[in-house]
Amino acid sequence: MVLVDPARDIAEFLTSRRARVTPEQVGLRTYGPRRVKGLRREEVASLAGVSVDYYKRLERGNASGVSDGVLEALAEALLLDAAERAHLHDLARAVNPVAPKRRRPGPQRVRPVVQQIVDGMSAPAIVRGSRLDYLSANALGRALYAPVFESVEQPANSARFTFLDPAAREFYVDWERTAKDLVAHLRSLVGQNPFDKALSDLVGELATRSPEFAAWWAAHNVRYHQTGTKRLRHPLVGELELSYEVMDLAGDSGLTIAAYGVEPGSRSAQALDLLASWAATLDHAITQEH
């Protein structure tokens, strides 16, 4: 089963976005019953200022040579948000004849200076790769996400853990929301790197082993995963509600640092302090052994 195909993806993405928009949302009048809930192809073409035949060609996946202006017009017509707009451009670049057809990123590693920065942070921090691998962390970050780092599903990867390890449904308080957000983020990553075989293999593994992943992948939803909140049920300290921020590492393409914080004085802050004490004790014991 081929799950990453830029031409098919742009066709299915446009079709799925068109089905989501009602005529009323874009100021169109309707007369009588409609066979489709969303917009017709003719209506999208009119709103975007392109011919019906040209838009139909795009929905068949033939987007070679499409201009940025047309893509922006389609984004406006289909009411795309920032993540969806960027995804449309990514897919169009992937099917353009001038786009590179082979991209083989090498292994992603954490440079010593990056590890030093992460270790110096008082907040939990994790270094993640472009395929959602958990490459490294500081002591508190590793303690916070111990179920991921210690999962039977290795190498440690947030998508693999979420969908393939039963422990994830206990660890994430809002498992379904977390899982759907993760699929949408992974869709965005695949759009940016459609010829990354390791990323495509990860998608194939998840779709084969998880019915939920396969169903949500087919929805073609995309979103950014740069900031938000997480509710975790940690096996040692119980429930925590954390805010997170994801920062790109300019010197390491695809690598990011995710840092987590809690509301001062809250139950979550107390739980995180307890976890920090436990992590420090464990780290000290390991140091003594060596």
How far is it, in rounded angstroms, from Cα 144 to Cα 237?
10
CA distances in angstroms from 184 to 62, 176, 259, listed in the order given:
24, 12, 21
Confidence of residue 98 (pLDDT cuts 50, 70, 90): low
Does position 178 have pLDDT exceeding 90, yes or no? yes
Does position 285 have pLDDT exceeding 50, yes or no? no
Confidence of residue 104 (pLDDT cuts 50, 70, 90): low
What is the pLDDT, as a whole number, of residue 284? Answer: 45
How far is it, in rounded angstroms, from Cα 55 to Cα 53?
5
Residue count of the chain, please give it. Answer: 290
**Going from the N-terminus, what domains does the chain have, and what CATH number goes with each?**
6-95 (1.10.260.40), 112-289 (3.30.450.180)
What letter represents residue 96's amino acid? Answer: N
Tell me the CA end-to-end span of the chain in Å, nearest whole number.
Answer: 48
How far is it, in rounded angstroms, from Cα 87 to Cα 89?
5
Mean pLDDT of 36-47: 90
Structure tokens at 183: 């699929």
How far is it, in rounded angstroms, from Cα 31 to Cα 160?
48
For residues 207 and 3, the answer to whether their CB atoms sit within 8 Å is yes
Orientation angle between helical segments 52-59 and 6-20, nearest 10 degrees: 120
Confidence of residue 282 (pLDDT cuts 50, 70, 90): low
How far is it, in rounded angstroms, from Cα 216 to Cα 223?
13
Does position 1 have pLDDT exceeding 80, yes or no? no
Mean pLDDT of 122-126: 96
